[in-house]
Amino acid sequence: MTENIDNVLEQYFEKQKIVTLRQEMINSIRVDSEGHLLNELFSFDNAEMLCDQLENSDLSVKADLDDNKHIKEFVDYYCDKFAENEIDRKKVNQLENECHKHTPIWWYTSEGFPYSVLNRALRLVDGEVITLMGFFVKDLHRHIEELHREQFLDTSIAECLTVYRGQYLTTKDFDELVASRGGLMSFNNFLSTSRNRHAYLLFTSTNKINQSVVSVLFVMTADPKQLTTPFASVRHVSQYPEEEEVLFSMHSIFRINGIKPMVENEEMYEVELSLTNDNDEELCALTDQIRKESIPYAEGWMRLSIMLSNIAQSDMAERICRNLMNENAHETDAKDIYNQLGSIKYQQGQYEEATELYKKSLELRMKSLPPNHPDVASSYNNIGLVYSAMGDYPKALSSYEQVRNIQMQSLPLNHPDLAISYNNIGNVYSDTNDYAKALSFHEEALKIRQESLSSNHPHVASSYNNIGNAYFDMRDYPKALASQERALKIRMQSLPPNHPDVASSYNNIGNVYFAMSDYPKALASYEQALKIRQQSLSSNHPDVALSYNNIGNVYSQMNNYSSALVFYNHALSIGQRCLPLTHPHLQLYKTNVETVQNKF
């Protein structure tokens, strides 16, 4: 790839300002072929599930004609987003014109493109780029599978393969790696390794950046007969055969067996990893849990749309649903498409449209399903969420009570869905200032979730968040802060860093500090919430308006009225575009602007 393209990519992804730090994730540093420092993430998260869809579902390529269509869509997107001149366009157009003349691995090992585009997208969980490159992800995975069969499964080779990969880790992340010994590590991209230990050893021993990083040599053993993750030597199909590269497909998962100083150089560390297999009990349990929560009833494009929504990439999720609606007139599918579109519009803050879509879905579900079916309850719940967001609390409570009545007839008393109903009813009581009742419902929801879900599940975080809000409303600020910080910790472990729920935690922590008159800490929390919301939500989203208003509140209390007015006006402008005229937040924003104007 030309230097210009790489610079454009660096600038584009820098604008995203996405940083990921989780307990099950190790944020490491690697140096690419042109010397840039890149974040590389190891995790078992939505990126894996997203690419698993592209690899294993019939999403992208049904015939050469469809293949060419998807290639052209990606090329057009790339030229629009990244290319600055004819040299850039010529490079990407080569893929469009000559894609079938070379193997996927040949393209992957070519200089810069498409390797850098794909792996950046995977690191940042950029759903739009990953989906547009679905044709390539799928073909590359299949090519590795094919070579794996040829090299190992169709031969008598039985011994384990040992390969190497040199990395730099920050000292903090190296400490996390040491603490994870015996646990699992997942690489969420196509993993390049080498059979040549000396090459990586030379690289890591001579390229140490500074004292804040640790040189690590991963020594990886893999059983060729395992069926979990395909891998293959690509020496004979790569553009760089001298590298003796062995390429692993997406989301290869290793067990961390040992970490020790290297004999050759005690400042460097050797990390022993072994590729997991289908018999690994911990991996099977983790995989089953993730798949169970990734909408098991949804398939194909609908499942992908839901996954994209779950990682706050609603625009691409909506495009997929609109295409499904245009291509599919069956009523049985339409009820689920309307429901998903309603969820997307709710996420985007377009509440009137979300209500209509949810009601269409409910109408179709009532025609084809029993009255106590879980999907009917789900529709009522979704309608309640929108009414609550619009400030119509009596209608919201009525919808939630309808949900609970259905669930009490059809579910065990400790079912997670029942916890959702308790949670939502608690939210309405909180919004209508009945804080004691709100706390009671949220504590009941937490009790159910602690019995039925893992300790770091996002829904557990939601319960702590809402309990924190109840304590806040009751002016018990120490308990409120403790609950909100617990919610944030869980969300940072289990959600993407730019997820709207992470922003909500920062916002609520800011509320507590504001109430305690600790304005610098409140401002820092509110600014972090706004930063995330600007990344993950539309510019006209009600939560963005709320962040502007909260920052305005801080400046007003600090007697910086000119700054307060700027932020209040931003909040009012957005509120006028996205909220009903009777919404209490809109009235609040108007009052705040008028109050500050009177200070001048």
Per-residue pLDDT of the chain (600 residues; tens, 9 = 90+): 333 333 332 332 232 222 222 222 222 222 222 222 222 333 334 444 455 555 444 443 333 335 677 788 888 887 877 666 676 677 777 877 888 888 888 888 876 567 778 877 776 667 678 778 878 888 898 899 999 988 887 666 667 899 998 888 888 778 878 877 887 787 767 888 999 887 666 555 554 556 778 888 999 999 887 767 899 999 888 877 778 889 998 778 888 899 999 887 778 899 999 998 766 665 565 555 555 555 556 666 777 777 777 766 777 788 888 877 776 655 558 888 999 999 999 988 899 999 999 999 999 999 999 999 989 999 999 999 999 999 899 999 999 999 999 999 988 988 998 999 999 999 999 999 999 999 999 999 999 999 998 888 999 999 999 999 999 999 999 999 999 999 999 999 888 888 899 999 999 999 999 999 999 999 999 999 999 999 888 888 999 999 999 999 999 999 999 999 999 999 999 999 988 888 889 999 999 999 999 988
Q: HEC string of 400-411?
A: HHHHHHHHHHHC
Nearest-angstrom CA–CA distance, 406 and 380: 10
Pick from 42, 22, 20, 18: which is nearest to 30 by CA? 42
Q: What is the pLDDT of residue 60?
A: 39
Write down the pLDDT at residue 132.
80
Going from N- to C-terminal start, the domains of the chain cover: 3-22+48-150, 157-278
Listing DSSP states for 183-209 in one string gives SEEEE-SPEEEES-HHHHHHHHHH---
Residue 284 is predicted with a pLDDT of 61
Taking CB atoms within 8 Å and a gap of at least 24, the contacts of 265-271 are 265/205, 265/215, 267/208, 267/215, 268/204, 268/205, 268/214, 268/215, 268/216, 268/217, 269/174, 269/214, 269/215, 269/216, 269/217, 270/216, 270/217, 270/219, 271/177, 271/216, 271/217, 271/218, 271/219
CB distance 118 to 50 below 8 Å: no
Residue 141 in contact with residue 230, Cβ under 8 Å?
Answer: yes
User: 157-278: what fold?
Assistant: Toxin ADP-ribosyltransferase; Chain A, domain 1 (3.90.176)
d(CA 445, CA 459): 9
The dihedrals phi and psi of 456, each to the nearest 5 degrees, come to -110, 25
Q: Which residues pair with 158 in a beta bridge?
A: none
The count of residues in the chain is: 600
- Element (H or E) spanning 532, and its range? helix 519-536
Q: What is the pLDDT of residue 200?
A: 63
Amino acid 205: pLDDT: 56
* Alpha-carbon gap, residue 561 to 569, rounded angstroms: 12
Which residue type is seen at 393? Y
C-alpha closest to that of 203 among 166, 253, 244, 228: 166
pTM of the model: 0.53
Distance of CA 7 to the CA centre of its chain: 25
Confidence at residue 251, expressed as pLDDT on a 0 to 100 scale: 73
